[in-house]
Amino acid sequence: MEAFILRATLSTPVSFRSHPHLDALLMAAREKAMGPETVGQPLPLAERDGLWQASQAFAVGAVAHPDQTDLVRPKTVKGPKLGLGDLHWEKSLGNDGRKLHPDSPYRGQLSRYDLLEGVQAVYWQAYGDPEACLGLARLIENVGAMANTGWGRVEQWEILPCDRLAPKDAGWVSEEGMPLRAIPLRLWAPGKELADIRVPDGATVGMFGVRAPYWQRPNQEMAVAPTRAWLTGDARLMLPRIAAA
């Protein structure tokens, strides 16, 4: 295993509800291509204390602060994804069994998306098998929110060398001491009270997903994580943070 950078060059603007962890993307790509039997199988990434050594996404553009456009679009919730009992779900459907009833709490709603225009590429830092990770990444055609509607289109996936003095910390923490992903406080500062924990500038503490699926409540705990602002900027500022050689 070795430290490496994975880069996705984009051809359309990208939208992130939260900057995705590389391990979550690779898991989803593998499951979609190879089936649900792959769930729970190891990834070609190193693990530390039960978490993958894979950073969150760095959004890199030509300017320090890429334009952010608020895009509002309808969003519906599909029945099978709700995990509801059949009877409960049927009560929310119309007479034809397909369309949601106008009074259903699961009817279509307008959702706001932050669209980053000017982001040219997305980078991840990781420690693992770069070629195996690249093979999984090439199964992914779009990244970010609204990927199914054309946003975050990936033109090219490629591996770049990682310039770190301590390569075994890749995907976990930077050489300046910044968390590169959500790291539980029990691992970041074991035995310390919240008030005594040092949080670097550009990081924040809160309830974050620490393993995939990151949005599920059982996978969330008090953690330190990089802010969205620290993960977004121009190449001059961001490439040293990513440690791209």
C-alpha 119/C-alpha 67 separation (Å) is 9
146 and 28, same domain (yes or no)? yes
133 and 78, same domain (yes or no)? no
108 and 60, same domain (yes or no)? no
Which of 83, 112, 141 represents a domain boundary (last residue)?
112
Q: Flag whether pLDDT at 57 surpasses 70.
A: yes
105 and 204, same domain (yes or no)? no
Comparing 124 with 86, the larger pLDDT belongs to 124
Instruction: Look up residue 70 and give its two tokens.
Output: 């608020």
pLDDT on residue 163: 86
Least confident of 34-38, 87-91, 175-179, 191-195: 87-91
Comparing 46 with 91, the larger pLDDT belongs to 46
Least confident of 1-10, 14-23, 65-74, 101-110: 65-74
Q: Flag whether pLDDT at 140 surpasses 70.
A: yes
pLDDT on residue 92: 45
Average pLDDT over residues 6-34: 91
Comparing 78 with 132, the larger pLDDT belongs to 132
Q: Flag whether pLDDT at 210 surpasses 80.
A: yes
75 and 62, same domain (yes or no)? no
166 and 84, same domain (yes or no)? no
C-alpha 87/C-alpha 185 separation (Å) is 41
172 and 188, same domain (yes or no)? yes
pLDDT on residue 89: 42
Q: Flag whether pLDDT at 76 surpasses 60.
A: no
Average pLDDT over residues 224-233: 93
84 and 185, same domain (yes or no)? no
Q: What percent of the chain has pLDDT over 70?
A: 78
206 and 169, same domain (yes or no)? yes
12 and 81, same domain (yes or no)? no
C-alpha 221/C-alpha 55 separation (Å) is 17
168 and 77, same domain (yes or no)? no
What average pLDDT does the structure give for the chain?
A: 82
Q: Flag whether pLDDT at 95 surpasses 60.
A: no
Q: Flag whether pLDDT at 78 surpasses 90.
A: no
41 and 126, same domain (yes or no)? yes
C-alpha 97/C-alpha 89 separation (Å) is 10
Which of 54, 85, 112 represents a domain boundary (last residue)?
112
Average pLDDT over residues 126-138: 96
Q: Flag whether pLDDT at 66 surpasses 80.
A: no
Q: Flag whether pLDDT at 148 surpasses 90.
A: no
Which of 87, 112, 137 represents a domain boundary (last residue)?
112
Q: Flag whether pLDDT at 116 surpasses 80.
A: no
Q: Flag whether pLDDT at 27 surpasses 60.
A: yes
Q: Flag whether pLDDT at 104 surpasses 70.
A: no
Number of domains in the chain: 2
Strands in the chain per DSSP E: 2-10, 14-15, 47-48, 51-52, 58-61, 67-75, 109-117, 119-128, 154-161, 183-184, 203-209, 220-226, 232-234
pLDDT on residue 119: 86
Helix-then-strand count for the chain, H and E: 6, 13
What's the domain range around 203? 2-66+118-242
